[in-house]
Every structure is written in C-alpha cells, then in structure tokens.
Amino acid sequence: MDPDLAAEVRALRWYHSIPLPGGIVTPGVQDSPRVAPRLQLPDLTGKSVLDIGAFDGFFSFYSAQRGADRVLATDCHAWSDPEWGSRSFQLARRALGLEGRVEDKYVNVMDLSPQTVGGTFDVVLFLGVLYHLRDPVTALERAASVCDELLVLETESALNWVPYAASRVYVDGDLNDDDSNWYAYNATALTRLLRRVGFTRVSVVYRTPLARRAGRAGRALWKQRTVASLAAFKSQRVVIHARR
C-alpha cells in the first residue's frame, strides 16, 4: 500500500467507493462496485460514454476500464460544493492512471448540448441525478440531445403500485433528510417521459427488491429510527435503459 496515496484519500470526503492500486478503497457513502452490475451496461469496447453528474468518478472510470474509447465526466453541483469539489475525482483518476482516457468538464445538466460537451455520445449515464432537479423533464431533454444509442437512467422512484404515471414531491428533507431531493416519478412515468423525449425502446432493468427494502427498514428500526424505517421501506431505485 502506498502510504502517501492512502493519506491523500483519507484527507478527502468521498461519495463513491473506488478501488485504487495497492488495495486502497476510497471510503465512499455508496458501495459503487456493488451498484455497478445493476446498470447492466452493454459491451463498451470502442464506445463513447458521457457520465452526467460524475461526482467522484467511479462510473466514468468503470466505463474506461470496460473498454470505452472516449469518456467524458461532467458535473456541476458536486464539483462546485466546497465540502466536495472535484479533488476526489482528480485524485482517483490520477491513481488509476486514466488521465489520458477520462476527460472532465464542468457543465450544468441544464446546459448539456452537443456544443457544450463536444458532440454526442454512444452511451449516456444519468445516474442518481434526476430526482435532485427542479426541472427533470427539461433535464431529460438535455440528456437525450447528446445521446446517440443508449441512455442509462438510475434514479429514485415512488408510487410504483399506482397503475398510471405518477410522481411524489419531497419537502423538508422527506427523502434521506436531504432537502436537495425534489421529485420521484414512478417507473411508468419515467418510461413515458423517456419516450416523449425521443427514445423508442424503453425498459426497466432493475428495481430495488422488496427484501432489500425490508432489510433497510429493519436496520433502521433496530436503531430505533421509526420514521427513517418507513422512508427506507418506501425508497426504491430503478434503472431504465432507453434506446433510440
């Protein structure tokens, strides 16, 4: 283990858990290697990939490691936050030796266009961002404008028992005690919105299993967090593939 690299990692705040050389793993909130298979990404050999809201960059680096020819990581919210910034992204990219293969650009989701990101991409990753946005419909239009083949959308969903398109609006930290969360559409609404912005084949490839939701709720109850337990049970993530 490189003690200097380990010290650099410890000095930063991390969201993604990123395996680095020498057995070092960044202490992220999200167990990113466990999340990655849920995305069911296709063979990326020779593909161009855009990672919207890249944060610490795990999925950008993951795409490069899976053979993507060009990867562009973009962010705005996290990289402009003084508590987070882009230092973790820069450190992980350097440690992984991907400085020549993974580009980065500071771009707001609402400013995405072929002009702002240097063209269009075969695969666009839109992970864990949509439910933080005041205007998710326009954001989907922007993401669609830079996608040639496949958009992979991962987001919070709600009201999936409702047989029609529906959405929940969050206030006062309803979701994860985080006031940056705005909306959670159900899978039906997300599918219809993706078709509305130009995708012809849309499919849900992952939903948080009931057993996992129940387990999270049980752990919260064990810690005597009754309100958090209910929220943990209600929370359901979905991954949707939208193709041209």
Q: What is the pTM of this model?
A: 0.91
Asked whether the predicted pLDDT for residue 21 surpasses 80, the reply is yes
- Give me the mean pLDDT over the 217-224 stretch: 52
pLDDT of residue 177: 64
Statement: residue 38 has pLDDT above 80: yes
Mean pLDDT score across all residues of the chain: 90
22-34 pLDDT, tens digit each: 999 999 999 999 9
pLDDT at 227 (0 to 100): 46
CATH class of 35-243: alpha beta
pLDDT band at 217 (very low <50, low <70, confident <90, very high): very low
What residues contact residue 207 under an 8 Å CB cut-off, 6+ apart?
157, 160, 187, 236, 237, 238
Q: Could you read off the pLDDT of 67-121 as tens digits, one per residue?
A: 999 999 999 999 999 989 999 999 999 999 999 999 999 999 999 999 999 999 9
**Spatial distance between the Cα atoms of 91 and 216, rounded to a whole number of angstroms:** 32
Taking residues 29-54, what's their average pLDDT?
Answer: 97
124, containing H or E segment: strand 121-127
Q: What's the rounded Cα separation, in Å, for the pair 165 and 184?
A: 11
> Among 102-106, 148-152, 227-231, which is the least confidently predicted range?
227-231
- Residue 128 and residue 59: Cα distance in Å, rounded? 11
